[in-house]
């Protein structure tokens, strides 16, 4: 016998959410496959998903803008894309055990829908939309930041380190030599010094980076250089 589905109120309790409008959370868990099969007079979670998607984008964009003042527009966009990707949202949904609460049609349930990345990601956005409707932007922001902060720091470090490797692979393949990182200046007092680095490829400055030390400045410069290269590709 299959385990009983957890309710929206069960999930609210597990997440420490005090619902003012319980119905909106129930709606956030209703997948259209249930309505297609049963014809129940319910609304699916698609409208809440639409709303949650916009709220999520704003919360993450604001967080990145305020947390990483040295990043360029292109770097911010790439970080945001990574944080709101389907796979990232699905992992967040798994972390809150959202799949056990989704109300799916029988066919979708039997095909493993409760653990499909797309359904989990859509469900997460719908749940966020419900929080926004019930508790406003501040409530939605608090909920999202609980997932974003640690992942953003980890993914930033990982992506930056990977950027130097990727840039070296690119220049080695194309020019048979690695890029040159050249310190172009420093600013600030000794205890808060900021390094500025130029990324030089084939004698030309392709990008610049800033950081609290040379390594961090080089990593940011490498990521910016990759962005330049990607924009120039046909």
Choosing from 26, 125, 198, 216, the catalytic residue is: 125
CA 100 to chain centre: 22
The vertex-151 CA angle with 147 and 152, nearest 5°, equals 110
Q: How many CA atoms lie within 13 A of 190 on its CB side?
A: 0
Taking a C-beta distance cutoff of 8 angstroms, is the pair 181, 210 a contact?
A: no
Is residue 190 packed enough to be buried (19+ CB in 10 Å), middle (13-18) or exposed (0-12)? exposed
Question: Collapsing DSSP states into helix, strand and coil, what is residue 18?
Answer: coil
Known catalytic membership, residue 125: yes
Choosing from 26, 49, 53, 122, the catalytic residue is: 53
Q: How many CA atoms lie within 13 A of 129 on its CB side?
A: 23
Known catalytic membership, residue 198: no
Cβ neighbors of 211 (< 8 A, separation 6 or more) are 70, 194, 195, 197, 217, 218, 219, 220
Indicate which residues carry an active-site annotation: 53, 125
């Amino acid at each position: 016998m299959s385990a009983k589905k957890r309710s929206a109120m069960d999930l609210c309790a597990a997440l420490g959410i005090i619902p003012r409008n319980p119905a909106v959370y129930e709606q956030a868990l209703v997948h259209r496959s249930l309505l297609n099969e049963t014809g129940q007079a319910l609304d699916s979670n698609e409208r809440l998903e639409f709303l949650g998607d916009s709220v999520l984008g704003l919360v993450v964009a604001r967080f990145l803008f305020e947390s990483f003042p040295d990043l360029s527009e292109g770097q911010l966009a790439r970080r945001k894309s990574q944080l709101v990707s389907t796979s990232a949202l699905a992992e967040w949904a798994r972390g809150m055990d959202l799949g056990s609460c989704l109300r799916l049609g029988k066919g979708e349930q039997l095909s493993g829908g409760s653990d499909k990345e797309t359904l989990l990601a859509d469900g997460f956005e719908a749940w966020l939309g419900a929080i926004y409707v019930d508790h406003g932007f501040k409530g939605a922001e608090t909920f999202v930041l609980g997932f974003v902060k640690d992942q953003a720091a980890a993914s930033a470090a990982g992506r930056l380190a990977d950027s130097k490797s990727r840039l070296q692979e690119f220049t080695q393949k194309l020019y048979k030599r690695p890029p040159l990182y050249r310190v172009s200046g420093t600013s600030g007092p000794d205890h808060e010094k900021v390094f500025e680095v130029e990324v030089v490829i084939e004698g030309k400055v392709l990008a610049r980076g800033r950081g609290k030390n040379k390594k961090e400045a080089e990593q940011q410069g490498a990521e910016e250089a990759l962005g330049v290269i990607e924009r120039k590709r046909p």
